[in-house]
Amino acid sequence: MGLKEELEEKAESCDSPEEYIGVAKEIVAGLDDKDWAVELMEAGAEWAQTYDEAVVYAEAAKEIIGDDDVVGNFLSNAKMLCMSAADFIGLGSAAGKLGLEDMAKEMNEAAMGKCTKLTDFLNLSNQLIKTDPDMAK
């Protein structure tokens, strides 16, 4: 059995983020097929139930693929899983750490729209002081 067939078999049996990401790494390392690796990680990300589960795939894409557009797509999909201001704050923080400043700002603006309690506003402000002091005001 060749490497491609072996990886196809592994890809079909993935059922956790670690497995999807691990096989994606093997695909890039062994076959230099970034498109297939992205497709596999996208398939895994479809099972994410929270934004932070989806962020795991964005972080892996940054490491394995190195394409900010791909990373941005994973983060955009994660946005649909945000249910609270805290979720958007966390996603904005993740986007900032991944070097996607525009997306971080977009998530922080979305967080503002979800703030309903004083603690939400304080948490957002504390996060923004680190990443976007002008917006924190």
Q: Are 57 and 48 in contact (CB under 8 A)?
A: yes
Give the pLDDT of residue 132.
62
Give the pLDDT of residue 25.
97
Give the pLDDT of residue 85.
87
Give the pLDDT of residue 42.
97
- Which ranges constitute the DSSP H helices of the chain? 3-12, 17-31, 34-45, 51-64, 68-79, 85-97, 101-114, 118-131, 133-136
Q: Which of 55, 18, 22, 59 is nearest to 37 (CA)?
A: 22
Give the pLDDT of residue 109.
87
What is the residue whose two structure tokens read 């297939």? 36
Give the pLDDT of residue 117.
81
Q: Are 86 and 123 in contact (CB under 8 A)?
A: yes
Q: Count CA within 13 A, CB hemisphere, residue 57.
A: 31
Tell the burial category of 29 from Cβ atoms under 10 Å away from its Cβ (0-12, 13-18, 19+).
exposed
Give the pLDDT of residue 22.
97
Length of the chain as a residue count: 137
Give the pLDDT of residue 113.
85
Q: Are 74 and 98 in contact (CB under 8 A)?
A: no
Rounded to two decimals, the pTM is 0.85
pLDDT in tens, the chain (137 residues): 699 999 999 999 999 999 999 999 999 999 999 999 999 999 999 999 999 999 999 999 999 999 999 999 999 999 999 998 889 989 999 999 999 999 999 998 888 888 788 887 787 777 767 766 666 55
Domain residue spans in the chain?
A: 1-81, 85-137
